[in-house]
Amino acid sequence: MAPFLLVFAVMAAAFASASGSGELTPDFYSETCPQALTTIKLVVGAAILKEPRMGASLVRMHFHDCFVNGCDGSVLLDDTDDMIGEKLAKPNNMSLRGFDVIDAIKVAVNTACLGNVVSCADILAVAARDSIVALGGSSYEVLLGRRDATTASIDDANDDIPNPFMDLPDLVDNFESHGLSLQDLVVLSGGHTLGYSRCLFFRSRLYNETDTLDPAYAAALEEQCPIVGDDEALASLDDTPTTVDTDYYQGLTQGRALLHTDQQLYQGGGGGDSDELVKYYGENPDKFWEDFGAAMVKMGNISPLTGDDGEIRENCRVVNQ
């Protein structure tokens, strides 16, 4: 057999062996593309160096992917004549961002791997972890081996992604429907240590929930978000929107929660359990980082496609032809 054919055969056999497993493993690409994770990290790092806000966007994209029919990369699919995907769903439209970074990662990984080896769903999971680390958080081991969906649903996205107006019981029900606990809800909400929200999503809280808002904080927000207009104006979710820390939890106890759903975690009718978790993570950053990593791994295990299900997309925006 010619040398290049032998190399191709070895790679194909290794990939077939890996993809035949139904289990997610941290070393899924160790034989088929050992440089995959390093390549993803480099592209994510460059994107965040250029725009630190991008880290929050990549974490959020992984969350929104996993909550709609599992962690299968469906959020990345563009609409077609036969399908309206998730990008235009209410929680995502004009809000979810970073698709160009995922495109760049996919091109770089395909080049490094000498072929289409790494799934878009796995890229989302690793990019979220690398974003957390790049912005000061602790690393955690990402399980790999997901495959990509061949369809997406705007209706499922509208139904399954929590919206920022939910009360605590509805949030708990939503998370439990995905196999996640109250503790997972509180610790994953700590992802709001990063990023911003649009006025459209916090205006109702700002002007109707004044009893749970610090007056000085509310006054500052009113300058950014008038009662009418400026829907796209941004405010940070905590005081350090490009640093992973526990200021988010401290803000919840001080009347500085930007979103209704955030304030619901503290004195939102959870019988004290969520209140205690908020205070605990605000006072114990090491435990937050440890538990956040574990919760991200748990979320990343929501209904993945493995084995022969789905596909490995050549281009994350479209199904393979």
Q: Is 65 annotated as a binding residue?
A: yes
Helix, strand and coil percent figures for the chain, each rounded to 5: 50, 5, 40
Paired residues of 311 in beta bridges: 148
Q: With contact defined as beta carbons under 8 Å apart, do 121 and 73 qualify?
A: yes
Q: Is 26 annotated as a binding residue?
A: no
Q: Is 240 annotated as a binding residue?
A: yes
* Radius of gyration in angstroms for the set of CA atoms belonging to the chain, rounded to a whole number: 20
Q: Which two tokens stand for residue 277?
A: 């978790």
Q: Is 215 annotated as a binding residue?
A: no
d(CA 246, CA 101) in angstroms, rounded, equals 27
Q: Around Cβ 215, how many Cβ atoms within 10 Å? A: 9
Q: Is the dihedral of CA 7, 23, 77, 37 positive or negative?
A: negative
Q: Is 70 annotated as a binding residue?
A: yes
Q: Please, which residues have CB within 8 angstroms of residue 19's CB and are 6 or more apart in sequence?
A: 145, 147, 307, 308, 312
Q: Is 193 annotated as a binding residue?
A: yes
Q: Is 247 annotated as a binding residue?
A: no
Q: Is 122 annotated as a binding residue?
A: no
Q: Is 74 annotated as a binding residue?
A: yes
Q: Which two tokens stand for residue 261?
A: 């759903």
- The verdict on whether 64 is a catalytic residue reads yes
DSSP assignments along 149-187, one per residue: -S---HHHHHHHSPPTT--HHHHHHHHHHTT--HHHHHH
By CB atoms closer than 10 A (0-12, 13-18, 19+), residue 31 is middle
Q: With contact defined as beta carbons under 8 Å apart, do 132 and 244 qualify?
A: yes
Q: Is 192 annotated as a binding residue?
A: yes
Catalytic residue among 62, 64, 178, 260: 64
Binding residues: 65, 68, 70, 72, 74, 86, 162, 192-193, 238, 240, 245
Binding residues for heme b: 192
Binding residues for substrate: 162
Binding residues for Ca(2+): 65, 68, 70, 72, 74, 86, 193, 238, 240, 245
Active site residues: 64
